[in-house]
């Protein structure tokens, strides 16, 4: 009986994975899921979404200071991409000098929830990953 439940779970997982590789592909090498994962999978997008999730609204320089190592150009490109995808809202206030704030949209907040799951997984398994890397290094470093 328990085996049936495990088999059903594996089938469901297999079906979900098949959707990633086969679903929503309009052209042979153009798949919407892969495109979206690539877009949000880079470290600067992840850090930007996490930072905005932490502080709600932020100005450009606050974001830049809060994301170690990002250049002004890369932050600009990242924010534009996230805004284009509907994840970040850019609000310009009619002041002199102009004030611009960034915040997550509802779509961005739902992405943040998923990123937090991934971050929690990484935190929970950090020691296991470090041990695996050390073991791998011992096996693959030439002597």
Do 48 and 117 have their domain in common? Answer: yes
DSSP type of residue 98: -
Instruction: State how far the Cα of 102 lies from the Cα of 78, in Å rounded to an integer.
Output: 12
The CA-CA-CA angle for residues 97, 100, 104, to 5°, reads 170
Q: What is the pLDDT of residue 92?
A: 94
Instruction: State how far the Cα of 17 lies from the Cα of 22, in Å rounded to an integer.
Output: 9
For residue 130, being part of any structural domain is answered with yes
What is the extent of the structural domain holding 127?
41-140
pLDDT above 80 (res 26): no
Q: What is the pLDDT of residue 38?
A: 80
Q: How far is CA 43 from CA 6, 66, 78, 109, in A?
A: 34, 14, 10, 17
Do 17 and 60 have their domain in common? Answer: no
The CA-CA-CA angle for residues 124, 52, 36, to 5°, reads 75
Instruction: Spell out the residues 6+ positions from residue 127 whose beta carbon is closer than 8 angstroms to its own.
Output: none
Do 82 and 104 have their domain in common? Answer: yes
Q: How far is CA 53 from CA 13, 21, 32, in A?
A: 29, 30, 25
Do 68 and 116 have their domain in common? Answer: yes
For residue 36, being part of any structural domain is answered with no
93: part of which helix (H) or strand (E)?
strand 88-93
Rounded to an integer, the average pLDDT of 98-104 is 94
Do 13 and 46 have their domain in common? Answer: no
pLDDT above 80 (res 90): yes
pLDDT above 80 (res 21): no
pLDDT above 70 (res 126): yes
Total domains, the chain = 2
């Amino acid at each position: 009986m328990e085996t049936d439940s495990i088999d059903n779970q594996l089938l469901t997982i297999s079906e979900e994975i098949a959707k990633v590789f086969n679903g929503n592909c309009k052209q042979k090498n153009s798949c919407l899921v892969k495109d979206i994962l690539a877009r949000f999978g880079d470290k600067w997008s992840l850090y930007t979404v996490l930072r905005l999730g932490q502080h709600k609204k932020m100005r450009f320089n606050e974001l830049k200071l809060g994301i170690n190592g990002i250049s002004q150009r890369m932050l600009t490109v990242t924010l534009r991409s996230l805004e284009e995808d509907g994840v970040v809202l850019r609000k310009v206030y009619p002041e002199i000098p102009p004030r611009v704030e960034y915040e997550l949209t509802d779509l961005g907040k739902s992405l943040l929830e998923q990123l937090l799951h991934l971050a929690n997984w990484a935190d929970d398994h950090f020691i296991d990953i470090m041990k695996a890397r050390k073991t791998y290094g011992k096996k693959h470093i030439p002597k």
